[in-house]
């Protein structure tokens, strides 16, 4: 199977400068290739493809020393990235969707460089000492904080910039599958805001609310950014501080999602969850000038809480971990799962007395509303698997 590993880099100050220059030169190559394609079609009606631009790389490297110091293969990967963007553009045009013509990459919008093959301008674990390093042409041997063992064969190596941090991403093939022993248990989960997750067994995982906990510091950093003069070094540093706050929240949210998903995968063979349409759930309620929305402030706060919980991130992580471990994940229709009695099947909005209490008006069954919802999700998931 294929798996990706992401490790933090520990570059020296000179290596940081070299990595920054590498990303910048690849960005300029991307923009120049896009400019050439656009001008050729506008002026002569000629379509330029990846093969045409790849042939020109040798001349570019010969006459431009900045481009010539980097790996030829990594530059080809940048041109393929543009080719992929155009292929997606033509696919959307053919399907009648909004085309979305490829855009020029401004500073801060191009942060990844890929080396498509190990030992071709790059080399993983490139020194024999105890420190793990990655060799990158034009940068040198960079220390890596390898917090886990890399399994399989390294196929591609990418370097990614996130704020002030640099990461290396390894895409490995032939990774052995780690299938966990069967537990004989199945579970349904109910996603929420008061509690991040509630299982049909009654277990709950609290909602850490990372965004809300960091809101005051983020707001202070954004106010500080607003006072800075555009184009100044102080504004650049203030912008980096704002980005660092966002990155910290994103890392904590992802860490929480990994831990919750791992706990589920280790304890259950079948995991049923609601097929949530998060984009629809967090749509603005402001309406239009002619038809203004109602309860806009309340809906805005609810949207913020839903996005802060990170349901989408968690469900993606859960699906990935379940596939690696040989578990079954099934998504069910969430309609009326919190209003249906698991004992008699009666469905009514009056059954949900409060946010946490469920009392069936037909048979008198009482329980925690989130547990009832998770129980119904489990039943619907098992029914789908048996169908």
Residue 181, in any domain of the structure:
no
Statement to judge: residues 206 and 66 lie in one domain: no
- Continuous segment of H or E residues that includes residue 115: strand 112-115
Statement to judge: residues 211 and 110 lie in one domain: no
Statement to judge: residues 28 and 152 lie in one domain: yes
When pLDDT is averaged across residues 35-39 and rounded to a whole number, the result is 96
Residue 254, in any domain of the structure:
yes
Statement to judge: residues 95 and 193 lie in one domain: no
Statement to judge: residues 250 and 114 lie in one domain: no
Our CA angle for 192, 193, 199, nearest 5°, is 35
Mean pLDDT of the chain: 92
Statement to judge: residues 139 and 208 lie in one domain: no
Q: Compute the distance between CA of residue 239 and CA of residue 226 in angstroms, rounded to an integer.
A: 9
Q: Which tens digit of pLDDT belongs to each residue from 205-217?
A: 999 999 999 999 9
Locate all alpha helices (DSSP H) within 282-340, ordered by sequence.
Answer: 296-309, 311-325
Statement to judge: residues 160 and 295 lie in one domain: no
Q: What is the DSSP letter of 349?
A: G
Q: What is the number of structural domains in the chain?
A: 2
Question: Of how many residues is the chain composed?
Answer: 387
Residue 82, in any domain of the structure:
yes
Residue 178, in any domain of the structure:
no
What pLDDT score was predicted for residue 272?
97
Q: Which residue has the tokens 């793990």?
A: 132
Domain boundary among 150, 173, 196: 173
Statement to judge: residues 205 and 91 lie in one domain: no
Residue 35, in any domain of the structure:
yes
Q: Which tens digit of pLDDT belongs to each residue from 218-269?
A: 999 999 999 999 999 999 999 999 999 999 999 999 999 999 999 999 999 9
Statement to judge: residues 239 and 335 lie in one domain: yes
Statement to judge: residues 48 and 101 lie in one domain: yes
Q: Compute the distance between CA of residue 135 and CA of residue 305 in angstroms, rounded to an integer.
A: 43
Sorting pLDDT into bands at 50, 70 and 90, what band is 288?
low
Q: Which tens digit of pLDDT belongs to each residue from 151-161?
A: 999 999 999 99
Domain boundary among 143, 173, 203: 173
pTM of the shown model? 0.85
Residue 327, in any domain of the structure:
yes
Residue 180, in any domain of the structure:
no
Statement to judge: residues 199 and 134 lie in one domain: no
Question: Taking a C-beta distance cutoff of 8 angstroms, is the pair 64, 26 a contact?
Answer: no
**CA 376 to chain CA centroid, nearest Å:** 29
Q: Compute the distance between CA of residue 327 and CA of residue 177 in angstroms, rounded to an integer.
A: 12
Q: Compute the distance between CA of residue 136 and CA of residue 160 in angstroms, rounded to an integer.
A: 13
Residue 179, in any domain of the structure:
no
Instruction: Give the domain range for residue 346.
Output: 186-386
Hey, which residues are catalytic here?
A: 190, 274, 370
Q: Compute the distance between CA of residue 377 and CA of residue 199 in angstroms, rounded to an integer.
A: 10
Statement to judge: residues 102 and 211 lie in one domain: no
What pLDDT score was predicted for residue 387?
67
> Is the confidence at residue 357, as pLDDT, over 70?
yes
Domain boundary among 145, 173, 201: 173
What percentage of the chain reaches a pLDDT higher than 90? 79
Q: Compute the distance between CA of residue 342 and CA of residue 11 in angstroms, rounded to an integer.
A: 57
> Is the confidence at residue 287, as pLDDT, over 80?
no
């Amino acid at each position: 199977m294929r798996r990706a590993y992401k490790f933090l880099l520990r570059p020296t100050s000179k290596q940081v400068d070299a990595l920054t220059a590498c990303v910048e030169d690849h960005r300029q190559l991307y923009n120049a290739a896009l400019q050439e394609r656009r001008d050729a079609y506008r002026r002569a009606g000629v379509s330029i493809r990846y093969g045409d631009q790849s042939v020109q790389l040798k001349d570019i490297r010969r006459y431009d020393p900045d481009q010539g110091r980097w790996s030829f293969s990594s530059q080809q990967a940048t041109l393929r990235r543009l080719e992929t963007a155009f292929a997606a553009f033509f696919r959307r045009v053919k399907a009648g969707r909004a085309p979305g013509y490829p855009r020029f990459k401004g500073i801060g919008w191009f942060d990844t460089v890929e080396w498509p093959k190990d030992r071709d301008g790059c080399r993983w674990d490139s020194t024999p000492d105890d420190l793990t390093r990655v060799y990158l042409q034009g940068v040198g041997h960079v220390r890596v904080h390898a917090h886990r063992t890399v399994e399989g064969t390294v196929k591609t190596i990418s370097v990614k910039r996130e704020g002030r941090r640099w990461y290396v991403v390894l895409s490995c093939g032939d990774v052995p599958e780690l299938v966990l022993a069967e537990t004989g248990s199945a579970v349904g989960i109910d996603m929420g805001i008061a509690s991040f997750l509630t299982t049909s067994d009654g277990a709950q995982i609290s909602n850490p609310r990372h965004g809300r906990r960091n809101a005051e510091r983020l707001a202070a950093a954004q106010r500080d950014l607003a006072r800075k003069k555009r184009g100044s070094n102080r504004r650049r540093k203030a912008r980096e501080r704002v980005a660092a706050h966002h990155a910290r929240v994103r890392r904590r949210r992802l860490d929480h999602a990994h831990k919750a998903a791992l706990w589920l995968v280790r304890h259950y063979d079948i995991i049923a969850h609601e097929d949530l349409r998060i984009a629809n759930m967090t749509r603005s309620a402001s309406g239009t000038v002619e038809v203004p929305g109602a309860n806009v402030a309340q809906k805005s706060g609810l949207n913020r809480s839903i996005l802060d919980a990170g349901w989408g991130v968690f469900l993606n992580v859960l699906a990935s971990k379940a596939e690696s471990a040989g578990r079954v994940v099934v998504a069910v229709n969430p309609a009326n799962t919190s209003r249906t009695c698991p004992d008699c099947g009666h469905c009514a909005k009056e059954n949900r007395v409060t946010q946490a209490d469920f009392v069936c008006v037909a048979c008198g069954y009482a329980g925690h509303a989130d547990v009832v919802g998770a129980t119904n999700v489990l039943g619907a998931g098992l029914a789908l698997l048996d169908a």
